[in-house]
């Protein structure tokens, strides 16, 4: 098991439950999903700047608590280090921060600085992998410092690539390390519908693989519009959470065929997919279908006659989320949380920016069942009121050595601690 499960680290984090909290919070923002209950978000006085200068309330499993654990502007993805510190990426600042548990709020220091939009973080023993916008780096992590930087995959496309002319909608990249030591990383698409990504060099809209011990990266899965969520499951399989396209035309026969109508509100769904070598997820020619049997549908704008890609021949994705949910961070938990959350996937759902009404942000849970994932459940909600106003947008959720869930929020600039009873 990872070294960060040591008792010292767990005890230090457990001491950080709640220093103080706000007075009575307002009514919950919406009706709670089954099994969830409203709870006031506890905020230590030194962390109580906006948006926590107003009482906030979240929806969490009954008996659980939630507090603001740290403030990190534009916090994105996170990973627990072998020494029990939580690393958090801040692409906008070019930094990776190190949050060391103490008996009050955690001590925050800059682990790495001057990077190009660092995003994904992953450990393989004492080796730290960092996904920058233009390369994947490896560092030696020792005694709370990272050095010995080496590039394991370079020349990756970002907004500075000469052929892109500064236009890159999905430059942030993610990274994961397989059980065999292979390194996987995402390359997002340049735009909503940019078919030239599929034939670019290196191809974009892919998940790439570096073999164990190093070597040239190769395409592991294609047609992945923006696989920001990237993680290894308990059985060693590789999974991605995908942001699918916007402004899709209605493919149903009738007067709305080929037009962008209200159909776009719920289509196409976002995908949660198990990846195997050579898997094709269709973008921008095919999209997951949620209106009939699990399958892929032909995109009538980009693949009108079906000649670009045979959508019917693609294996259905394992799970979906509502259209425009914007899943970001993906992680797996195996035994550190109480039932029914003991084994499964945690997904930070950022929420929609272009849907009416907006898709609400949340942290979702997908139970691990016989080598695959069950349907989406809400683990944490309440970030959005019924009018669509938000006070937070989760990015990633990772379980700590103390058995609590730590959630990054780039909108509120916070890291939350979601704790089961007694933790």
SS3 label, residue 394: strand
So what's the pLDDT on residue 4?
31
Q: Is the pLDDT of residue 20 over 80?
A: no
Q: What is the pLDDT, as a whole number, of residue 29?
A: 47
CA distances from 174 to 170, 185, 205, 396 (A): 11, 5, 12, 12
Average pLDDT of span 63-87: 98
pLDDT tens-digit series, residues 41-59: 999 999 999 999 999 999 9
- Tokens encoding 251: 């493919």
The average pLDDT across 5-26 equals: 41
Residues 182, 124 contacting (CB under 8 angstroms): no
Distance from C-alpha of 334 to C-alpha of 387, rounded to nearest angstrom: 36
CB 287 within 8 A of CB 299: yes
DSSP track, 305-365 = TS-S--GGGSPPPSEEE-TT--EEEEEEEESSS-TTSSEEEEEEE---SS-SSPPPPEEEE
What are the tens digits of pLDDT across the range 167-191?
999 999 999 999 999 999 999 999 9
Both structure tokens of 81: 């280090």
* Cα within 13 Å of Cα(203), Cβ side: 18
Report pLDDT digits (tens) over 235-280. 999 999 999 999 999 999 999 999 999 999 999 999 999 999 999 9
Average pLDDT score, the chain: 92
Tell me what pLDDT residue 32 has. Answer: 66
Kindly indicate the confidence band of residue 25, based on its pLDDT and cuts at 50, 70 and 90: very low
Helices (H) and strands (E) in the chain, counts: 1, 29
Q: How far apart are CA 192 and CA 94, in angstroms?
A: 25
The pLDDT assigned to 34 comes to 75
- The string of pLDDT tens digits covering residues 209-228 is 999 999 999 999 999 999 99
Structure confidence at residue 3 (pLDDT)? 34
Q: What is the pLDDT of residue 106?
A: 97
What is the sign, positive or negative, of the torsion defined by CA atoms of 220, 221, 222, 224?
Answer: negative
Q: Is the pLDDT of residue 104 over 70?
A: yes
Residue spans of beta strands (DSSP E) within 179-251: 183-187, 206-210, 218-222, 229-232, 238-242
Q: Half-sphere exposure of residue 174, counting CA atoms within 13 Å on the CB side?
A: 31
Which pLDDT belongs to residue 146? 98
Q: Quick check: 404 pLDDT over 90?
A: yes
Interval 342-390: pLDDT, tens: 999 999 999 998 898 899 999 999 999 999 999 999 999 999 999 999 9
Global pTM exceeds 0.75? yes
């Amino acid at each position: 098991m990872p070294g960060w499960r040591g008792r010292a680290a767990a005890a230090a984090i457990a001491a950080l439950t709640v220093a103080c909290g706000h007075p009575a919070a307002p009514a919950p923002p919406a009706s709670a999903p089954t099994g969830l209950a409203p709870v006031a978000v506890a905020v230590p006085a030194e962390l109580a700047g906006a948006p926590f200068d107003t009482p906030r309330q979240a929806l969490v499993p009954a008996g659980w608590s939630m507090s603001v654990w740290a403030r990190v502007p534009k916090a994105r993805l996170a990973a627990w280090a072998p020494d029990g510190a939580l690393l958090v990426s801040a692409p906008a600042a070019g930094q990776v921060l190190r949050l060391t548990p103490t008996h009050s709020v955690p001590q925050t220091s800059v682990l790495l600085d001057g990077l190009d939009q660092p995003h994904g973080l992953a450990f393989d023993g004492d080796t730290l992998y960092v996904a920058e916008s233009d390369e994947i780096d490896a560092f030696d992590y020792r005694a709370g410092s990272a050095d010995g930087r080496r590039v394991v995959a370079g020349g990756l496309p970002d907004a500075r690539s000469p052929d892109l002319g500064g236009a890159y909608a999905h430059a942030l990249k993610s990274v994961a390390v397989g059980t065999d030591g292979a390194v996987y990383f995402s390359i997002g698409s340049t735009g909503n519908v940019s078919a030239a990504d599929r034939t670019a060099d290196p191809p974009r809209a892919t998940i790439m693989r570096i073999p164990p011990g190093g070597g040239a990266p190769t395409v592991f899965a294609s047609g992945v519009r923006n696989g920001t969520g990237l993680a290894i499951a308990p059985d060693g399989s590789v999974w991605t959470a995908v942001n699918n396209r916007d402004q899709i035309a209605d493919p149903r026969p009738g007067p709305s065929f080929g037009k962008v109508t209200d159909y776009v509100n719920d289509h196409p769904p976002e995908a949660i997919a198990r990846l195997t070598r050579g898997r094709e997820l269709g973008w921008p020619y095919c999209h997951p279908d949620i209106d009939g049997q699990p399958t892929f549908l032909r995109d009538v704008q980009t693949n009108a006659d079906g000649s670009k890609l045979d959508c019917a021949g693609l294996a259905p994705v394992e799970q979906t989320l509502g259209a425009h949910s914007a899943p970001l961070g993906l992680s797996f938990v195996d035994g550190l949380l109480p039932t029914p959350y003991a084994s499964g996937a945690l997904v930070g759902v950022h929420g929609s920016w272009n849907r009416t009404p907006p898709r609400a942000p949340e942290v979702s849970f997908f139970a691990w069942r016989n080598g695959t994932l069950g349907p989406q459940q809400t683990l944490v909600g309440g970030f959005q009121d019924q009018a669509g106003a938000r006070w937070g947008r989760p990015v990633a959720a990772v379980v700590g050595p103390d058995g609590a869930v730590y959630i990054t929020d780039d909108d509120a600039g916070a890291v939350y601690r979601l704790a089961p009873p007694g933790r």
